[in-house]
Structure 1
Amino acid sequence: MTKPKQTSLLATVLRQIRSKATGKNYQISIALPFAYVDDSINIAPYDKPLTAWPVVYLLDPFLFFGMITDIVRTMAWCDRTTDAIIVGIGYPEEESLRETWRKGFAARTHDLTPIQSEKSEKYNSEWLKLDVKTGGGGKFYRFIKQELIPLIDQEYRTDPEKRILAGHSHGGLFTLFAMFQEPGLFSSYISSSPSLHFAEKVMFTLESEYAKKHKKLPAQIFLSAGELEEDTEDTTLTDIYRFAALLESRNYKGFSLTKQVFLDNKHCEVPAPAFQVGLKMALMKSEARSSSPP
């Protein structure tokens, strides 16, 4: 047996980016459709390479990049959904796995939260044993919009009409936050178990402020959670039902909401089914959509 060596997913690359908006370094994980890399592959569905590909922008790739890449590629074999470019927005590797986890988790807590929360900072600083900050969501959004998306669009054959943002937990919270910043920037939003409790449920306030000024919300969103997330200290399900009802009551033009609760799933178990269903909706081919039963 040969000596072990580090492996990676097929047709994936890593890029390092220094953001002007946030002042942070990011490790960008990019997975390309097989047909993008080699259009001579002659097995379904890779015998029909696209001139432009959908792009899935994924938060917390250190947890979900492999999962999402495999889900998208595997679903495409059934020829009802389109393969896509996966762009994971993460953080550089540190000197050890432990430090990569600690510093990455601290960085994402800052980037994925829309406002400052002393309660969240205290909690995360104690268990990570780092000085954790919150409220960097605005700058992080500008990084994605002004720096990352233009770079990806410039260097890869992307379809700007099929741009998807996906996140879980704080990532799901940021996904909702981004939807209200500039709804047309992404065509679809996948928000799995969003942390709607954050900062005294500030997302409800942000939605209310948006509703006062806008009648349109051109976005397709998949909002989900696990059945077992609700208990005396966790109101995830109640919050999601309330937030979904609020969105539906606005009658926003151009808005489409699908919500789902996954039975017998806790917070850390639900990302896989949530992302699979959400990505299936977002990447469904028009001909497959029209032929699907009601």
Structure 2
Amino acid sequence: MVKGFQPSRRTALVTVAAALTACGGGSSGDADPPAAVGQVINSTLKSTSNGNTYPIQVYLPQTYATGTTLLPVIYATEGDAQFGGPNRSRFEVFKEVMQRQGTQAILVGIGGTAWRGSDFLMPGAAKYLDFIVKELAPTIERDYRADPKRRALSGLSHGGYFVVAALILEARAGVPPSFSYYLATEGSVGEHTSPAGVLAFEKQIDGKPLPTTLFLAGASGGNHPLIGIPLYNQMASQNLPGLVLLKAEYNTSHVGADLPAFEEALKRFLP
């Protein structure tokens, strides 16, 4: 059950959110990883949009080698962020979840966590979005059996803010959403100085068609009550034709919400 936002807790939550908005990766999961299944391909891609060269990891499920159908693609920002211990990354943990659940999809881990402070926030977010949509996605769809009509975008903290910003930027420009599913976990206030700034940023798209799904997830003790829930409530009250809006809250930490949110997203969208 989602807990209501309590105004009396606002000051305390602002303090907590300020400490959390710049968090990187991590996880408390200690489970042994599953046996390696499928294939991982490592490469790099230099962006003409912002000049950065990004490490790219692509996970292909075991059935990819013998299949013929197009598969959905999950684009995970901060794929190289440490997650759950030394030599384990957000990409690795997400890959293992997909293996356990038998998810028939391609996972693309976008490295470059060192640039999160500029890539995920405005004005750099616009160029980073161009990189993903106009450079990375076409490359993936050229080189693999990737379905351009079934794309998902995932981000945590500043990355969660970027996922929301990506949706807003395209809607504001009158461009159809580039992704079928947007998973924003524990979104930060981004470059804004308060949650009110995030709400004002989103308010610009009231009345715009949004034929996509936005999943706002987070931790009961993290940014979600302060940022995610007010954003959900505002968007639910607006005229946004075609938008499927979902929310989920977990009794965990800021970073700890990332894994259950991803697991739930897979079950809901790519069973």
Deviations 1:153-187 (A, max 9, x none): 11111111210001110110000011123352100
Say yes or no: does 1:67 pair with 2:75. no
Structure 2: how far apart are the matches of 1:242 and 1:192? 14
Query: If the length of structure 1 is used for normalisation, what is the TM-score?
Result: 0.71
Q: How does 1:95-244 map to 2 (within 5 A)?
A: 104-105=113-114, 107-114=115-122, 135-182=123-170, 183-196=176-189, 198-200=191-193, 201=195, 202-211=197-206, 214-229=207-222, 236-244=224-232
Structure 2: how far apart are the matches of 1:274 and 1:163? 17
Displacement over 6 Å in runs of 4+:
none
Structure 2: how far apart are the matches of 1:190 and 1:35? 25
Post-superposition shift, 1:10?
A: 4.9
Contact map agreement 2:181 2:214 (CA 8 A) in 1: yes
Contact map agreement 1:18 1:24 (CA 8 A) in 2: yes
Corresponding position of 1:56:
74
Structure 2: how far apart are the matches of 1:109 and 1:10? 33
Q: 1:52 to 1:266 in 2, by over 3 A?
A: same
Give me the identity figure in percent.
30
Say yes or no: does 1:34 pair with 2:62. yes
Deviations 1:224-275 (A, max 9, x none): 111122xxxxx54122111000000013211111111102x01121111111
Structure 2: how far apart are the matches of 1:52 and 1:274? 25
Corresponding position of 1:42:
none
Post-superposition shift, 1:279?
A: 2.2
1:210 partner letter: I
Structure 2: how far apart are the matches of 1:157 and 1:109? 32
Query: If the length of structure 2 is used for normalisation, what is the TM-score?
Result: 0.77
Contact map agreement 1:226 1:261 (CA 8 A) in 2: yes
Considering fraction of residues, name the structure with more helix. 1
Contact map agreement 1:177 1:203 (CA 8 A) in 2: no
Post-superposition shift, 1:203?
A: 2.7
Corresponding position of 2:25:
none
Structure 1: how far apart are the matches of 2:191 and 2:266? 25
Corresponding position of 2:33:
none
Deviations 1:94-148 (A, max 9, x none): xxxxxxxxxx43x11110112xxxxxxxxxxxxxxxxxxxx41011011111111
Higher RCO, 1 or 2 (CA under 8 Å, sep at least 6)? 2
Deviations 1:187-238 (A, max 9, x none): 0011100003642243322211121xx4311111111111122xxxxx5412
Larger radius of gyration: 1
| Structure 1 unmatched runs, 5+ | 1-7, 40-48, 77-81, 92-103, 115-134, 230-234, 285-294
Structure 2: how far apart are the matches of 1:219 and 1:65? 24
Contact map agreement 1:196 1:240 (CA 8 A) in 2: no
Contact map agreement 1:21 1:139 (CA 8 A) in 2: yes
**How well do the aligned residues superpose, as a CA RMSD in angstroms?**
1.9
2:246 partner letter: T
1:270 partner letter: A
Structure 1: how far apart are the matches of 2:244 and 2:202? 15
Corresponding position of 1:88:
109
Structure 1: how far apart are the matches of 2:184 and 2:268? 13
Q: How many residues align?
A: 222
Contact map agreement 1:196 1:236 (CA 8 A) in 2: no
Q: 1:69 to 1:197 in 2, by over 3 A?
A: same
SS of the residue 1:184 aligns to: coil
